Each structure stands twice: as structure tokens, then as C-alpha cells.
Amino acid sequence: MKKVQIPSGEPAGRVACQQCGNTKNFVEIAENVLVTTRYLQNSDGSFTPQESDTNIFGTVQFVCGICGADMTRFHAHFLEMSF
């Protein structure tokens, strides 16, 4: 089981970039991703998405959205806190 590293920002657990101090903008970068979307064609010929599946086969990075600093060590915490 992978250990979750919890950031020490204020309030406790808040992610903060140690390089630039950013606490709001972050980016998740996934490599080798397969996205499958199922559509329903409407009577007018347009399409409406019904469901989508995403499979990640490569590495995943979590980076600061301002300066690009690598914050991947907090990725597991990010996943737990995404609602």
C-alpha cells in the first residue's frame, strides 16, 4: 500500500508549492492515456455523450500550475481530497 504524504500547509493538509507559494492552481499530467467515450446519436444527427472511461497506463505527475514545480509526492493526497 502506498503511503500518503500529507502536506503541512495552513490549514493542516493544504497543498502549497515550496517554490512559489501557490496554493490554488495545480495540474495533473498523465502519460499513455486511453479515453473511451460512448455516444448516442440524436434524431437530428447530433451526438450526446453517454459515459466516458479513462485508463492511465503511464506515469502520473502532479505539478504546480504557476511555476511547474514537481509536487508528485502529494498526488495521493490530491486524489483523496478530490470530490
More confident residue, 38 or 2: 38
- Tens of pLDDT, residues 5-42: 666 655 567 899 999 999 999 999 999 999 999 999 99
Number of domain units in the chain: 1
Q: Tens digit of pLDDT for each residue in 35-78?
A: 999 999 999 999 999 999 999 999 999 999 999 999 999 998 89
Domain range for residue 82?
A: 1-83
Q: What is the reported pLDDT for 10?
A: 53
On whether the CB atoms of residues 36 and 52 are closer than 8 A, the answer is: yes
φ and ψ of 27, to 5 deg: -130, 135
CA nearest 73: which of 61, 59, 58, 57? 61
Decide if pLDDT at 2 tops 70: no
Q: Can the peptide bond before residue 11 be classed as cis, meaning omega within 30 degrees of 0?
A: yes
Distance from first CA to last CA of the chain, Å, rounded?
22
